[in-house]
């Protein structure tokens, strides 16, 4: 599968200790500050792996033991194994969007009974880890994403089509219906991926193994799923309302990609590139598809940048957004890599940046933008940065994440 991001200078590795710093909140756009500026530093946590719909919960890992868990402002970081319910140390997340919208369910897999076999599993805050019921007819499976409340799970399973013949097929699952395959184009025998599902569980998205063909499955709620094939698009996610699909397409420069979105009415639309950047990728989308976030890369200068795209304002460099908001001094020398996540309302972001003076020390930031009280008042932002150590690759360019 092709990359959705290019990172210069390093890759994540464990470092740091737990710590809390100074809070500062600033206005995002030019105008009056909506509240007292605040800025917070944390140590000992990893990159964001998911963000709840309301932006209050971050799925991430703890550096000291790589434990998967949830962070909230109220409770800090809690490993999934430290919640109540059935604990498990062998659960592993799978897919690029494993956190449900309510922030209370994580999709993944648990070891199966056979060698090399896994079973689709779900962690919930109330019940802990559990294999999905009703997986009969499958030899191996993993859960990749879930609806808002975790009641519908999508993923990929090895189905016994005509024993001993078995095929990797996308699936959707509910407690009532059990596991059911989703259709693929006639004659397809390769292994697809599933990367996201709408909040109501009716629409899922994924990709062919060639990385250049996107799949959209609709009608899951009626148990009569229909497939739409999108040639040329590798899908990263789907909006909560199911209207907007985001991903990447090949651009005019060989081997380079560009951020794009797709809708049933408008087809594929490129998000554009800012001057000086040859490549971009989209990674997160708001509930109604009006806000899309991602990253950009300059191959000539070997520089990264994060972006925020708004349907009514176009593509903007996140550094410019923060600078114009009054954070110019605080972000001086910071190199933003990518904005990874965005909340349903488009007001909370999570991403990665380098601190001043280094390309080997990642910071992870979360930014929340309160609603303006009037059209004339600028909206505020809380920025959370999580220090991460990175090791430079021999070429000065880090391994890129694959999804």
Q: Are 48 and 338 in contact (CB under 8 A)?
A: no
Q: E strands of 182-256, at which residues?
A: 193-197, 204-207, 213-218, 226-231, 234-238, 245-250
Q: What is the mean pLDDT of each run of 10 residues along the chain (403 residues)?
A: 41 32 30 35 78 93 91 91 79 92 96 80 92 91 97 95 84 94 90 96 96 95 95 97 97 85 97 94 97 93 88 87 70 84 89 81 73 35 47 29 29
Residue in 323, 275, 325 with CA at minimum distance from that of residue 296:
275
Burial bucket for residue 115 (CB in 10 Å: 0-12, 13-18, 19+) = exposed
What φ, ψ does residue 80 adopt, rounded to 5°? -60, -35
Angle in degrees, CA 74, 53, 364, rounded to 5:
65
pLDDT at 327: 66
Q: E strands of 299-347, at which residues?
A: 303-310, 314-317, 335-342
pLDDT at 373: 34
SS3 category, 366: strand
pLDDT at 399: 28
Q: E strands of 264-332, at which residues?
A: 267-270, 279-285, 291-298, 303-310, 314-317
Cα gap 140→109, rounded to integer Å: 10
Q: Are 160 and 139 in contact (CB under 8 A)?
A: yes
A 10 A CB-CB count for 86 gives 12
pLDDT at 59: 94
- According to DSSP, the residues that pair with 215 across neighbouring strands are 206, 229
DSSP 323: I
Domains defined for the chain, CATH in brackets? 1-60+240-403 (no CATH), 92-234 (2.130.10.120)
DSSP 45: B
CA-based end-to-end distance of the chain: 7
Give how far Cα 212 sits from Cα of 19, 25, 57, 148, 234, Å: 43, 41, 32, 28, 5
């Amino acid at each position: 599968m092709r990359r959705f991001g290019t990172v210069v200078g390093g890759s994540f590795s464990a470092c740091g200790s737990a710590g809390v710093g100074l809070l500062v909140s600033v206005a995002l756009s030019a105008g009056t500050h909506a509240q007292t500026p605040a800025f917070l530093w944390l140590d000992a946590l990893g990159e964001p792996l998911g963000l709840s719909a309301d932006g209050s919960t971050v799925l991430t890992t703890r550096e000291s033991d790589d434990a998967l868990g949830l962070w909230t402002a109220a409770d800090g970081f809690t490993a999934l194994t430290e919640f109540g319910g059935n604990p498990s140390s062998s659960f592993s997340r799978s897919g690029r969007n494993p956190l449900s919208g309510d922030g209370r369910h994580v999709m993944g897999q648990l070891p199966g009974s056979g060698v090399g076999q896994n079973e689709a599993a779900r962690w919930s805050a109330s019940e802990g880890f559990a294999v999905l019921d009703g997986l009969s007819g499958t030899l191996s499976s993993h859960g990749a994403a879930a609806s808002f409340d975790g009641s519908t799970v999508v993923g990929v399973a090895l189905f016994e089509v005509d024993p001993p013949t078995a095929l990797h097929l996308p699936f959707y699952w509910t407690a009532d219906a059990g596991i059911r395959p989703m259709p693929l184009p006639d004659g397809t025998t390769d292994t697809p991926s599933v990367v996201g599902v709408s909040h109501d569980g009716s629409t899922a998205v994924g990709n062919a193994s060639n990385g250049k063909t996107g799949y959209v499955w609709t009608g899951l709620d009626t148990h009569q799923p229909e497939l739409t094939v999108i040639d040329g698009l590798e899908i990263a996610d789907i909006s909560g309302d199911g209207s907007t699909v985001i991903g990447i397409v090949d651009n005019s420069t060989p081997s380079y990609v560009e951020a794009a979105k797709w809708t049933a009415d408008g087809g594929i639309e490129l998000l554009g590139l800012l001057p000086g950047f040859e490549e971009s990728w989209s990674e997160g989308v708001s509930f109604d598809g009006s806000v899309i976030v991602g990253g950009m890369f300059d191959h000539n200068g070997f520089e990264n940048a994060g972006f925020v795209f708004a349907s009514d304002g176009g593509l903007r460099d996140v550094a410019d957004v923060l600078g114009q908001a009054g954070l110019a001094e605080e972000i001086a020398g910071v190199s933003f890599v990518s904005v990874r996540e965005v909340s349903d309302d488009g007001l909370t972001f999570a991403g990665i940046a380098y601190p001043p003076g280094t390309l080997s020390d990642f910071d992870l930031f979360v930014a929340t933008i309160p609603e303006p009280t009037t059209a004339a008042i600028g909206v505020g932002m809380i920025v959370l940065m999580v220090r991460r150590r990175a090791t430079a690759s021999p070429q000065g360019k880090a391994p890129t994440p694959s999804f």
